[in-house]
Chain A
Amino acid sequence: MLIHSHEPANPTLFPNIGHVDRHEWDALVSDQDFFNSHGWLASLDYALGEGDVFTLYGNAGLLGGSALWDGEKQPGLFYLPDYFPGLDGPWQEPFLWVGARRSTHNEIPCVRGRRRGEILSTIAKTLAHLAKRRGYYAAIVPYMPLSQALEVAKSYPHARVIMHSAEATLAVPVGGLDSQLQLQRSHHRVRAKAELTAFSRLGNRVEWCQLDESLLESATELIANNREKYGSHQGPDWMRRIFDGQKKSSVIGAAVAAVAKRGDEISGVTIFYRFGDTLHARYYGSNYQISDNDFRYFVLTYYHSLDYAAKNGIRECRLSISALGAKALRGAAIEPLAALLLFENTPPVSARECDNYNQHFYQHYEQQHGSHLTPDWALLDKRKILCCI
Chain B
Amino acid sequence: MFSTQSSDSSSSKESEANLSKFDPSTFDEYAGLYEKMLTWPYRKELELPTLRQLLGDLSGLKVLDFGCGPGVISRWLHEQGAEHIVGHDISEGMLNYARRREEKEQRGIHYSSDLVDKYNEYFDIVLGVYVMPYAAQREDLLAMCKTMARILKPGGRLLTLPIHPDFHSDPEFYRPFGLRLIEEQPRADGSQVRLHICQPPYDVNILAYYWSRQTLEKALYDVGFQTVSWKPLHVNDNPLSEELSLYVQCPHAAIIECVKEKIC
Contact = CB atoms under 8 A, between A and B. Distances in A.
Interface of A: 1-5, 7, 21, 23-24, 26-29, 58-63, 111-115, 253-254, 275-276
Nearest to B207: A2
B229 interface: no
Given A24-B31, A114-B25, A115-B29, A5 B202 contact: no
B93 A5 contact: no
**Closest 7 A/B residue pairs (Cβ):** A61-B32, A113-B28, A113-B25, A27-B97, A4-B205, A111-B29, A26-B100
Contacts of B92: 112
25 contacts: A1-B207, A3-B26, A3-B206, A4-B205, A5-B205, A7-B203, A23-B31, A26-B97, A26-B100, A27-B93, A27-B96, A27-B97, A59-B202, A59-B204, A61-B29, A61-B31, A61-B32, A62-B32, A112-B28, A112-B93, A112-B96, A113-B25, A113-B26, A113-B28, A275-B103
Contact of B203 (A5, A26, A63, A113): A5
Contacts of A28: 96
B66 interface: no
Interface string B4-35: 00000000000000000111011111111101
B186 interface: no
B192 to A, nearest CB: 9
A59 B201 contact: yes
Given A113-B26, A113-B28, 11 more contacts: A1-B134, A1-B136, A7-B204, A21-B32, A23-B70, A23-B100, A27-B97, A27-B100, A61-B32, A112-B29, A276-B99
Nearest to A115: B29
A47 to B, nearest CB: 20
Contacts of A60: 29-30, 32-33, 197, 202, 204
B101 interface: yes
Given A23-B32, A23-B35, A3 B207 contact: yes
B194 interface: yes
A163 B244 CA distance: 59
Contact of B30 (A4, A21, A61, A254): A61
A261 to B, nearest CB: 28
A23 B207 contact: no
Interface in B66-95: 70, 92-93
A5 B204 contact: yes
A266 to B, nearest CB: 28
A106 to B, nearest CB: 18
B31 to A, nearest CB: 5
Contacts of B101: 23
A314 to B, nearest CB: 12
A276 B28 contact: no
B183 to A, nearest CB: 14
A60 B206 CA distance: 11
A111 B134 CA distance: 22
B23 A114 contact: yes
A1 B206 contact: yes
B5 to A, nearest CB: 14
Contacts of B30: 60-61
